[in-house]
């Protein structure tokens, strides 16, 4: 398993546990450190998973709104906990990561792989569909911004 993939798995399992118990943000550090220690043996880049976790937490409300807009027929609390947190990680990487480090197609593919590993039978398709919708909307905004700059 690649270092970044393992990092995402650790962050997913941390978010899952925290979300399941409806924890407080201060408790998530303890969960993360425990998961990093027990699951991250041999992980060379231990900075990346912490940055990913902090980024998801920082943009929590925005990520939730984007999940709802990408899956309008599914209230957020009705999306299973694994899929919900895979989407948070995937959308965070799509919108807030450096595109050179994590290209959009890699962010989507990695989220789908997490869904295959940790999710249910329909998780892969659901995650792929929601992230595809968010990505198309993101591209439309970027294209419009680019055209606006060209016209000014």
Domain map (residue ranges) of the chain: 3-151
Is this structure's pTM higher than 0.85? yes
pLDDT at position 24 over 90: no
Rounded CA separation 93/142 (Å): 16
* For residues 15-20, average pLDDT: 94
* For residues 127-144, average pLDDT: 87
* For residues 30-41, average pLDDT: 93
CATH number of 3-151: 1.10.940.10
Predicted pLDDT of residue 44? 77
Are 11 and 89 in contact by the 8 Å Cβ rule? The answer is yes
* For residues 80-92, average pLDDT: 97
Predicted pLDDT of residue 113? 97
> 19, 1, 3: which is closest to 82 by C-alpha?
19
Contacts of 123 (CB under 8 A, 6+ apart): 80, 82, 83, 86, 115, 116
pLDDT at position 146 over 90: no
């Amino acid at each position: 398993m690649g270092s970044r993939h393992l990092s995402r798995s650790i962050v997913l399992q941390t978010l899952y546990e925290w979300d399941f118990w409806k924890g407080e943000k201060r408790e998530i550090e303890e969960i993360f450190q425990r998961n990093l220690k027990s699951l991250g043996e041999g992980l060379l880049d231990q900075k990346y998973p912490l940055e990913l976790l902090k980024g998801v937490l920082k943009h929590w409300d925005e990520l939730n709104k984007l999940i709802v807009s990408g899956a309008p027929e599914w209230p957020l609390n009705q999306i299973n906990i694994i899929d919900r947190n895979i989407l948070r990680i995937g959308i965070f990487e799509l919108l807030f990561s450096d595109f050179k480090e994590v290209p959009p197609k890699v962010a989507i593919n990695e989220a789908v792989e997490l869904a295959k590993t940790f999710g249910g039978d329909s998780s892969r398709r659901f995650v792929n569909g929601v992230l595809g919708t968010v990505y198309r909307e993101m591209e439309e905004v970027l294209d419009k911004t680019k055209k606006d700059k060209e016209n000014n």
